[in-house]
A and B are shown apart, each in its own frame.
Chain A
Amino acid sequence: MQKFLLQGLLRSALTEQAPTPDAASMAELGYTLERTARAKLGRSLSIREVDAGSCNGCELEIHALNNAYYDLERFGIRFVASPRHADVLLVTGPVTKNMREALERTYAATPDPKWVIAVGDCAFDGGVFCGSYACIGAVAKVVPVDLHIRGCPPDPTTLLKGLIAFVDNMQ
């Protein structure tokens, strides 16, 4: 373990240092996000993720936001364990009928002011599961949605850009 810790001290951070065009634009966008989130919410943005029946693809990419390359927390955005602590619900999936009530109750448990971001093509219109007896389809049919981040699944950079667009347009 000492080796890893020592390396961590000696080596420069992986985050954002790679001079790829993506990384450069992300650093810039990250700065915007930090400023606007602070202006609007004072401190930080807390996100509660709700899987409303997705295939788990969106969750994998949302998870990736926490790795050292994207390191979402440096922008003051973090995932929280309870809707009671959340400003934003990040909802994925074609909202299965078996998950509808759970989603509604999670929304009701989130204190105002609150926002909903629908992630992925399924959350937008049901995606490939559109028309099933077991799915409602768009998240917007169940709870009011403030922003859609499209993709199947959206990659972490797209997610990050979407979050930035969201704070920029927050009422």
Chain B
Amino acid sequence: MNFASKQTAAQPSRPTCLPWPREVVDRAGWLAMVESLAKGERALLSLWGESSCVHMALLEQREPPLRIVTLECPDGAFPSVGRLHPPASRLERAIHDLYGLKPEGASDQRPWLDHGRWGVRQPCGARQEIDTTCDRYEFLRAEGEPLHQIPVGPVHAGIIEPGHFRFSANGETVVRLEERLGFAHKGIDQLMSGASIERAAQIAARVSGDSTVAYSLAFAQAIEAAFDVNVPPRAIYLRALMAELERLANHFGDIGGICNDAAFSLMQAHCNLVRERILREAASAFGHRLMMDRITPGGTLVDLKPESATALYAMTDWIALMTPRLIALFGDTTSLQDRTVGTGFVSEALVKQYACGGYVGRASGRAFDARKAIGYAPYPHLAFEVGASNEGDVDARVWVRFDEIRASLKIVRQILDETPEGPIIAAWALPDDWTREGAALVEGFRGDIFVWLRMRADGVVQRCHLRDPSWFQWPLLEAAIKDNIVADFPLCNKSFNCSYSGHDL
């Protein structure tokens, strides 16, 4: 589909966003929202800025499930959300770093993504060129005679992404962990602005490589919502197939990685066999091991051949055979249970306050799953159970992943059985007016990915906000490790497996 040639005169923008409305509120309305967040009447889904306004996406307990509110900030400041509702704090710091909008009354005003090294301040707002420096960063203090600090990163010992962890420990026991992120900040907000749909889709697919399918799907759904595109049924099923294959591959990789961090490499060896087989089948069915750039606004770019479907049936049979064996290996190894049970506990109150999605939330009693809660197609037509636990420890986060593996296998089989024939991409007419807004909430393997975007009259993206689930999981890792021993940090960290790149943007 050619998006590039269309040029139309600017027309007044439509007042609302699709499929969920966006309303402009005044200062009092904004403050009322903040107070209701603090009381737990609704949950914060995201908070993001533009040059002179801030937006907040909220998860409601009634229909419609999602609501977006906007506050104009002509004087470059807005009442802090984080002041009363701590989950917003890092998002606000990021808004200030990138757009220069000041959260009034925020308790933490340190920079977050900006380390002083870009040669520019507020790159997406009123740009100020600066000499590149390295900002001094004050870590929060932990005081007491026997305490010592352990700095870790940004280059870690394993093959993982960059980030810095500052431990304050009393002997072996962690008293405080403070994360410092932003090392993988690539300026995605700015790259998105002014990008064509094709280019924006490519960037969205590379926000977090392990969730490339989920991000592509979320971006595509936001575009399709904005332009009211009807995606062909076959494409809807194929997208879900890719999303579930991605989920399976990542969960097996994670379970293996968690066990390996408890020095049980046998489990990792076998989990990685399953993962590799999934990636190979994905490559043979869709032409790319991670299925990158296969989903496009309007549909998919590749079709599933009958022989690939047969191979995927065989693969799900094999995984269905392997999974109980792996579960037994995990569950019956008491030395492994000794490491995972009771380690890295996160309370239900915290995951609810942070609206923490994915296996981290579900392992601590927050059942939210966008596939059920939002119920985007084809999931309402499929039968599956989401994983759940109330234990909140590393062990629970492994078991929830096993639950999700079983659910995904069930979904994959249903998709293979039920995928209708037909076209794989919508033929949608180029609109007369490009000025549209759309949003989407998609369940990636790690949790719910939120996308909001506004198109400009000349057919390019004006602003695209991509919110990784890690934003609300990283802070809870700090809570999870408290009072655990330093040596259990890799175990806790892997059980969260937060994205650095997706968070840092």
**Residues of A that sit less than 8 Å from B by CB:** 1, 3-5, 14, 49-64, 66-69, 79, 81-83, 93-94, 96-102, 106, 127-129, 131-135, 152-153, 155
Q: Is B382 an interface residue (CB 8 A)?
A: no
Q: Is B126 an interface residue (CB 8 A)?
A: no
Q: Is B83 an interface residue (CB 8 A)?
A: no
A132 to B199, CA, bound (A): 14
A96 & B202 in contact (Cβ 8 Å cutoff) = no
A135 & B117 in contact (Cβ 8 Å cutoff) = no
Of A1, A52, A131, A132, the contact of B333 (CB 8 Å cutoff): A1
Of B186, B207, B266, B272, the contact of A96 (CB 8 Å cutoff): B186
| Set of chain B residues within 8 Å of A96, measured between Cβ atoms | 183-186, 504
- Closest CB in chain A relative to B498 CB, distance in Å: 11
Q: Is B251 an interface residue (CB 8 A)?
A: no
Interface centre among A59, A97, A153 (most CB of B within 10 A): A97
Interface residues on chain B, size class: 35 or more
A51 to B154, CA, bound (A): 9
A99 & B272 in contact (Cβ 8 Å cutoff) = no
Identify whether the interface residues of B are mostly helix, strand, loop, or mixed: loop
- Closest CB in chain A relative to B297 CB, distance in Å: 17
- Closest CB in chain B relative to A9 CB, distance in Å: 13
A60 & B210 in contact (Cβ 8 Å cutoff) = yes
Q: Is B79 an interface residue (CB 8 A)?
A: no
Of B120, B155, B158, the contact of A133 (CB 8 Å cutoff): B120
Given A98-B185, A133-B118, verify A54-B501 contact (CB < 8 Å).
yes
A1 to B210, CA, bound (A): 30
Give the contacts of B290-332 with A (CB-CB under 8 A). Answer: 290, 292, 325, 329, 332
A82 to B136, CA, bound (A): 26
A-B contact pairs, 29 of them (CB 8 A): A4-B266, A4-B329, A51-B162, A52-B162, A53-B504, A54-B161, A55-B209, A56-B161, A56-B208, A56-B501, A57-B212, A57-B290, A57-B292, A60-B290, A63-B159, A67-B273, A67-B275, A68-B273, A81-B157, A82-B157, A98-B115, A98-B185, A99-B154, A100-B117, A102-B183, A132-B186, A134-B186, A134-B187, A152-B206
Q: Is B276 an interface residue (CB 8 A)?
A: yes
A120 to B290, CA, bound (A): 14
A70 to B430, CA, bound (A): 47
A31 to B190, CA, bound (A): 47
A82 to B152, CA, bound (A): 13
**Residues of B that sit less than 8 Å from A by CB:** 115, 117-120, 123, 132, 134, 154-155, 157-162, 182-188, 190-191, 199, 202-203, 206-210, 212, 253, 266, 269-270, 272-273, 275-276, 279, 283, 289-290, 292, 325, 329, 332-333, 499-501, 504
- Closest CB in chain A relative to B251 CB, distance in Å: 13
A129 to B189, CA, bound (A): 11
| Set of chain B residues within 8 Å of A51, measured between Cβ atoms | 155, 159-162, 184
A62 to B206, CA, bound (A): 17
Residue of A nearest to B249 (CB): A60
Interface centre among B120, B184, B190, B276 (most CB of A within 10 A): B184
Of B190, B207, B501, the contact of A53 (CB 8 Å cutoff): B501
| Set of chain A residues within 8 Å of B187, measured between Cβ atoms | 129, 132-135
- Closest CB in chain A relative to B250 CB, distance in Å: 9
| Set of chain A residues within 8 Å of B115, measured between Cβ atoms | 97-98
- Closest CB in chain A relative to B136 CB, distance in Å: 14
A93 to B118, CA, bound (A): 17
Of B132, B191, B209, the contact of A132 (CB 8 Å cutoff): B191
A156 to B183, CA, bound (A): 26
Residue of A nearest to B264 (CB): A1
| Set of chain A residues within 8 Å of B325, measured between Cβ atoms | 3-4
| Set of chain B residues within 8 Å of A102, measured between Cβ atoms | 154-155, 162, 183
